[in-house]
């Protein structure tokens, strides 16, 4: 081994300490490398095994680890693997007396920055250390750049989503202008659906889609004739069939726009399905009806019944609750009804905000809701 006066240049653009751990079970080789690294500005610590090296790193992380491959207790590969897990920003160079291509490839595949064979010239060590630290610097800079870029993309994505959802909300508001009796209905359905979903313990991403689905569930009524939408008397069979096209119409309108929100689309299409299979548009039954649609069905019916409509006054709250219970298992998923009533009892749904109607004894069954 020969020494040279060419020192390793400091790492540009960083204020981190130049700390190195030298790992070898041969004290003489450790001292040679430590003397070299200290001469080039490193703060060094020696370790006689992989276990000692991990203890040293636990006390104070290092920029660089130079380690022998074959050692007792924990060999160089084992140490490398542990460092990659615990200290991924630490550069590791492996040193061995075995000049074997497959061993070198294996070390690099495990994440080593470089691989040196004994005997080595100290100037060679300097050059390879310089390359390893430069590679480490580039990796860290690239990672920081990626993190910054991802943050910027996330901010832009959130802004685009806000604008998109605002446009969708404008569609829902346009419907309420056409049908004044449904003013606030979609927002209330959205709120009730959200509370039910949370009561059922659904995750935030699902709840968010259900919330949007509730806001736009009736968007297809834009295609319904106003004379039918606002009719004060009972609907004819043809008029009822016409108004009940709105789930599929809404689904077709929103399908190109909500490709990333399939659960919201399902709410639009399937909120008039029935648990007993007698609903529309697909005649789904039981658990074949997606949960988000089963949730919206209860929320939609509850708000439709307690709100004033052109064809009837609002139904009193207790009568509506009784009707939900009566239709549980037939029209509605019993678990969803239970979750809704639990939320109502717990105060998660504010009773003062419910549009409780007249105390007239007449009660319209839920499927009569348009």
CA distance 342 to 355: 19
- Whole-structure pTM value: 0.57
Give the three-class secondary structure for 321. Answer: helix
Q: Which of 259, 180, 179, 169 is nearest to 222 (CA)?
A: 179
Q: How many CB atoms lie within 10 A of CB 205?
A: 10
Domains 19-147 and 179-368 in one fold: no
pLDDT at 182: 65
pLDDT at 81: 92
pLDDT at 360: 36
The first and second tokens of residue 32, run together, are: 């040679």
Q: What are 96's strand-pairing partners?
A: 117
pLDDT at 143: 85
How, if at all, do strands 43-47 and 91-96 pair?
unpaired
What tens-digit pLDDT sequence spans the chain (370 residues)?
444 444 444 444 445 558 999 999 889 888 999 998 888 888 999 999 999 999 999 999 899 999 998 888 898 999 999 999 999 989 999 888 776 667 777 788 888 888 888 887 888 888 888 888 888 888 888 888 888 888 888 888 777 777 777 777 777 777 666 666 666 888 899 999 999 999 999 999 999 999 999 999 998 888 888 888 778 778 888 988 998 999 999 999 888 888 889 999 999 999 999 999 999 999 999 999 999 999 999 999 999 999 887 777 889 999 999 999 999 999 999 999 999 999 999 999 988 878 644 333 333 444 445 5
Our measurement of the distance from residue 364's CA atom to the centroid of its chain's CA atoms, rounded to an integer in Å, reads: 41
CA distance 366 to 301: 6
For 116, list phi and psi in degrees, rounded to 5: -120, 145
pLDDT at 172: 72
> What are the sequence ranges of the domains in the chain?
19-147, 179-368
pLDDT at 100: 67
Q: Which of 320, 313, 337, 300 is nearest to 219 (CA)?
A: 300
Q: For domain 19-147, give the CATH superfamily.
A: Response regulator (3.40.50.2300)
pLDDT at 58: 93
Q: Name the strands in the sheet holding 91-96, side by side, starting at the edge strand that comes first in the sequence.
A: 43-47, 19-23, 64-68, 91-96, 114-117
The first and second tokens of residue 102, run together, are: 């497959």
Query: HEC states along 246-287?
Result: HHHHHHHHHCCCCCCCHHHHHHHHHCCCCCCCCCCCCCCCHH
Evaluate whether 13 touches 39 at the Cβ level (below 8 Å). Answer: no
pLDDT at 221: 87
Q: How many CB atoms lie within 10 A of CB 11?
A: 16
Evaluate whether 171 touches 222 at the Cβ level (below 8 Å). Answer: yes
User: Any idea which architecture 179-368 has in CATH?
Assistant: Orthogonal Bundle (1.10)
pLDDT at 354: 82
Q: Which of 89, 86, 95, 24 is nearest to 59 (CA)?
A: 86
CA distances from 266 to 66, 212, 218, 259, 339 (A): 58, 11, 12, 11, 20
């Amino acid at each position: 081994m020969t020494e040279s006066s060419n020192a390793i240049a400091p790492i540009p653009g960083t204020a981190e300490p130049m700390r190195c751990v030298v790992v070898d079970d041969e004290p003489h080789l450790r001292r040679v490398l430590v003397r070299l690294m200290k001469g080039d500005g490193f703060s060094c610590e020696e370790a006689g095994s992989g276990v000692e090296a991990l203890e040293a790193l636990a006390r104070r992380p290092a920029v660089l680890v130079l380690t022998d491959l074959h050692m007792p207790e924990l060999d160089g590969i084992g140490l490398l693997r542990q460092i990659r897990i615990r200290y991924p920003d630490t550069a590791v160079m492996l040193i061995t007396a075995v000049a074997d291509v497959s061993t070198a490839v294996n070390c690099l595949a495990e994440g080593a920055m470089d691989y040196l064979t004994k005997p080595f010239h100290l100037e060679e060590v300097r050059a390879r250390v310089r390359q390893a630290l430069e590679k480490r610097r580039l990796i860290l800079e690239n990672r920081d750049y990626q993190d910054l870029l991802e943050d910027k993309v996330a901010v832009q994505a959130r802004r685009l989503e806000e604008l998109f959802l605002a446009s969708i909300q404008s569609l829902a508001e346009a419907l309420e202008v056409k049908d004044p009796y449904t003013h606030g209905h979609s927002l209330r359905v959205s709120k009730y659906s959200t509370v039910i979903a949370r009561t059922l313990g659904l995750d935030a991403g699902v709840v968010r889609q259900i919330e949007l689905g509730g806001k736009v569930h009736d968007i297809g009524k834009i295609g319904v004739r106003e004379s039918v939408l606002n009719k004060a008397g009972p609907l004819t069979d043809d008029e009822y069939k016409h108004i009940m096209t709105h789930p599929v119409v809404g689904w077709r309108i929103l399908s190109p726009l909500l490709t990333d929100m399939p659960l919201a689309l399902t709410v639009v299409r399937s909120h008039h399905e029935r648990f007993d299979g007698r609903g529309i548009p697909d005649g789904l039954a039981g658990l074949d009806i997606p949960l988000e649609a089963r949730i919206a069905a209860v929320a939609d019916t509850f708000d439709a019944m307690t709100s004033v409509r052109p064809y009837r006054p609002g139904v009193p709250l207790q009568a509506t609750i009784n009707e939900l219970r009566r239709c549980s298992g037939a029209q509605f998923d019993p678990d969803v009804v239970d979750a809704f009533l639990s939320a109502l009892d717990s105060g998660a749904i504010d009773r003062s905000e419910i549009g409780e109607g007249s105390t007239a004894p007449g009660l319209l069954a839920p499927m009569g809701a348009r």
